[in-house]
Every structure is written in C-alpha cells, then in structure tokens.
Structure 1
Amino acid sequence: MNILAFDTSTDKFSLSILKNNKIVLNLSKILNKTYSKFLIPLIKESLFKSQLDVKKINHILVSLGPGSFTGIRLGIAAAKGLGIPYKIKISGYNNMNVLAHSINDNINGRKIVVLIKSKKEDFYFQSFNSNRQPLKKVSSFPISNLPKYFFNKNLIFCGNLNIKLIKELRKKKLYLHKNKFYNSELIINLFRKKKIKVTKSLDPIYVYEHYAKKN
C-alpha cells in the first residue's frame, strides 16, 4: 500500500508518505501565504526523495478543514490534480477528528474539545465523547467570549492554541492536554486502523460563509 497524505489547512504544511506499508517520509514546513508557490514543488520533491512514482500511489488523503479557506482549496486542487489523471483514490478528512484521536491516554470518560485557530482572534471548536465520536458540529468563537459550554470541568481541551487562548483557559482552571499538533503520519495511521472517517466528497468544511459564495 502506498499513501500520500498532506494538510494545507493551517500555516504549518504537513506531508507524509507510506510506501510498501512503511512510512518513508515526514515533512513539516511553515508555508503561511506561500502555498500557491511551494505546494506542488514540495509534493513532487517528497515523491522524488521517497522514490515513489505518482502512478504507484494507491490513495491520497487531504484535509478538508476547518482552517484556512485558501489553504484548504489549494490542497484539494493539488490532490485532484495528482490523483484524477492516474485514477488514484482521493479521500478527505476532518482535522478535528484527527486531533481528537491525538490524545492517546485514558481520559476517564471526559469529553474532548478540539480547538483550531481560525482568523484574527477567533477559533473553531468541536466536542467529542471519550470514544472520539463527535457530539456537535464545528462552530467558532472569539477569545473575548468563551462559550459557556467550556466551563464544564469534565472537559479536556486540545488542539492548535495560541498563548492568549491558553491563558484564558487556564484562568478558568480548565484542563489543557499537552498534545502536539498532529502530523500527516498520524492521519495515515488512523486511516489504516479505520479510526477516522474519510469521504470521497471533497467539499471543504467552511464554518464561515466564504467570500466566493457571497459574490
């Protein structure tokens, strides 16, 4: 099995390659607003280093968000550009689901709240039960107005947090899990173990209405 997985939904680009059922390459790089320039060259370079012909890829996994509107759309376009000509399977995944599974330890029945930086002072969030099954749809909030739901002491918070939000959560004496932001190797592992749901529908997960839909 050969799998290419990558995430363009945040400033930090992540890519992993599974070749002959072994992870042969992991890449993490801050790209921010340079995805349009570097995404395809980085994917091609990674395949070259892995000595993997694109025609030999069995499956491409790409993030559907939530996250950067532009990054998500560029990632999906790249996945289609690589996969469609060679009839490679392409599946999308939800970042929140992956992050919920990044907590490996026993959480004693607590619920998990996954947080991902959105724009300016806003964050996306989604809650999961202790079995990592979603309880609510992805929503958003500004740091200045934490949802009342967060004040439940039976919650564990994880995800892509900035210092300001960490201070706010600690001020309320809420439990923060010290997980690192996931990489694409975790996505491949969860996919192979069938622990995360993927979809053939490559529609981006938009929490806010995107400007392209307004015009």
Structure 2
Amino acid sequence: MNKLIIDVAGDKIFLMIIANDHIYNITHENTKINYEKLTLIIKEFLELNKFELKDINKIYINRGPGSFAGIRNSISVVKALKLAKNIDYYCYSLQDFKGEKDVKYENIPFLCVKFKIKKNLINPIYIS
C-alpha cells in the first residue's frame, strides 16, 4: 500500500511517499505561486520517484493550524483526487496526536489509526 503525505500548512510544502519499506520526500518553498502549482508539484514528485496517481492508495493531509491559502488549496487538491481517482484521504493535525513524543511524518498513517482519525472528513484549522 502506497501512501502520500501532504503538508502545506507550515513554512514549506512537504510531500512524502511511503511505499512498503521505502520513504521518499521533498520540500518546496511555500509561496503563493507554489500553492497554485500544487497539483504539478505533486505530479512531478510522483514521477521523480517512478509513481503515478494510480499507485497511491491513501493520502494524509495536514489540516492545520497554518496558512489559510496553503490549507485551502491542499484540501481542494485532495478532494479533487478523491473524486477523480477515488483515493481515500485522512485530514490530520499535529494537535490530534496529543501525548505523542517526536511525531514524524512517516508515523502519520499509524497515528491516524491509533487516534481514530476519520476517513474523508475535513475540519481545517486556520491561523488568523
């Protein structure tokens, strides 16, 4: 099962693919231009690591707190992927994992199960 983690809530755009025992990740500057190009950035990242959207089984997206524009755009992209490719997604916040020490991106899928994060449910947290 291949998982894609997307975090656009912070200072950087962060993408990670977890595929069996392999982990691939990349960061980009978090700018307005990159928000608008997020689908292209994801596509290029997948291609760079020899994946296609059809290879992704689940997406995990940071719902905040963070940048309104980044969260809004990333959630829109993930909802479109759900509709177009039927890829389930999980919207998490690092605040959901209270009590966990040193939360790492590669642990997000496990933590979403542990903390019972609901599939295909969005409740963004924006910083005013």
Q: Is TM (by shorter chain) over 0.5?
A: yes
Listed as ranges, the gaps of 5+ residues in structure 1 are 105-181, 209-215
Over residues 41-86 of structure 1, what are the superposed CA-to-partner deviations in whole Å (9 max), with x where a residue is unaligned?
A: 1100111012112112110111111111111010101112223211
Listed as ranges, the gaps of 5+ residues in structure 2 are none
Give the aligned residue type for 2:5. A
Paired position in structure 2 for 1:16: 16
**TM-score after normalising by structure 1:** 0.52
Sequence identity (%):
31
Paired position in structure 2 for 1:5: 5
Q: How large is the Cα RMSD of the aligned pairs? A: 2.3
Q: List 4+ stretches of structure 1 deviating above 6 A.
A: none
Paired position in structure 1 for 2:117: 198
Contact 2:60 2:91 in 1 (8 A): yes
Paired position in structure 2 for 1:38: 37
Paired position in structure 1 for 2:77: 78
Q: Provide closer, same or farther for how the CA distance between residues 29 and 98 of structure 1 changes in structure 2, counting only shifts above 3 A.
A: farther
Matches within 5 A, 1:1-215: 1-19=1-19, 21-97=20-96, 101=100, 103-104=101-102, 186-192=104-110, 194-199=113-118, 200-206=120-126, 208=128
Q: Provide closer, same or farther for how the CA distance between residues 23 and 38 of structure 1 changes in structure 2, counting only shifts above 3 A.
A: farther
Give the aligned residue type for 1:13. I
Q: Does the residue aligned with 2:37 lie in a helix, a strand or coil?
A: helix
CA distance in 1, matches of 2:115, 2:51: 25
Contact 1:35 1:71 in 2 (8 A): no
Over residues 104-144 of structure 1, what are the superposed CA-to-partner deviations in whole Å (9 max), with x where a residue is unaligned?
A: 4xxxxxxxxxxxxxxxxxxxxxxxxxxxxxxxxxxxxxxxx
**TM-score after normalising by structure 2:** 0.82
For CA contacts below 8 A with separation 6 or more, give which structure has more relative contact order: 2
CA distance in 1, matches of 2:124, 2:8: 12
The structure in which a higher percent of residues are helix is 2
Give the aligned residue type for 2:125. I
Over residues 151-176 of structure 1, what are the superposed CA-to-partner deviations in whole Å (9 max), with x where a residue is unaligned?
A: xxxxxxxxxxxxxxxxxxxxxxxxxx
| Aligned residues between the structures | 126
Q: Provide closer, same or farther for how the CA distance between residues 30 and 192 of structure 1 changes in structure 2, counting only shifts above 3 A.
A: same
Which is greater in Rg? 1
CA distance in 2, matches of 1:98, 1:45: 30
